[in-house]
Amino acid sequence: MNTFARFLALGSAVYAASAVAHPLAGVGPGFATGAAHPFQGLDHALAAIAVGVWAVRAGRPLSWAAPLLYVAAMLIGCALGRIMVVPHIESMLAASVIALGLLICVTVKSPRVPLLAIAIFALAHGCAHALPAHGDAYAYFAGLAAATGTLLAAGALSAACLTTRTYYAGAAISLAGMWMLVHVLAL
Cβ pair 51, 158 in contact under 8 A: no
Instruction: Express each pLDDT in 50-92 by its tens digit.
Output: 999 999 888 887 788 899 999 999 999 998 988 888 888 899 9
pLDDT at 15 over 70: no
Cβ pair 155, 83 in contact under 8 A: no
Rounded distance between C-alpha atoms, residue 140 and residue 156, angstroms: 24
Angle, CA 144 vertex, CA 141 and CA 147 arms, to 5°: 150
Rounded distance between C-alpha atoms, residue 22 and residue 38, angstroms: 10
- The predicted pLDDT at position 27 comes to 55
Residue positions counted in the chain: 187
Is 0.85 surpassed by the pTM of this model? no
* Average pLDDT of the residues in 88-107: 92
